């Protein structure tokens, strides 16, 4: 059986690899109006990008991205977003 184009063995191997990485999950608070405000302020109306920025704010961190428009819009709005060059 294939999972999104991967064989079961490939999917299992990928999952096992992910399990050994030191990944920490941080839930986003339930402050959805703030996420919407960030999205509208970015002029992208992307809740996906805005949720990452809101989480970075909650953690007191910077969101590093390869998305140049996101970085430029975020920086001009005073948000903790930087571009990886």
From first to last of its 85 residues, what are the pLDDT tens digits of the chain? Answer: 555 678 889 889 988 988 898 888 888 777 788 888 888 888 766 788 888 889 899 889 999 999 998 898 889 889 899 999 8
What is the spatial distance between Cα 31 and Cα 64, in angstroms, rounded to a whole number?
22
Q: Residue 26: name the closest of 63, 47, 52, 50 by CA.
A: 52
Instruction: Tell me how many domains the chain contains.
Output: 1
Range of the domain at 12: 2-83
What is the spatial distance between Cα 41 and Cα 65, in angstroms, rounded to a whole number?
18
């Amino acid at each position: 059986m294939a999972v999104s184009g991967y064989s079961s063995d490939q999917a299992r191997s990928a999952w096992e690899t992910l399990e050994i990485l030191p990944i920490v999950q941080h839930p986003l608070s339930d402050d959805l109006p703030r996420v919407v405000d960030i999205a509208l302020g970015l002029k992208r109306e992307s809740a996906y990008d805005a949720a990452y920025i809101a989480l970075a704010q909650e953690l007191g961190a910077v969101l590093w991205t390869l998305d140049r428009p996101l970085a430029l819009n975020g920086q001009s709005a005073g948000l903790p977003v930087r571009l990886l060059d």
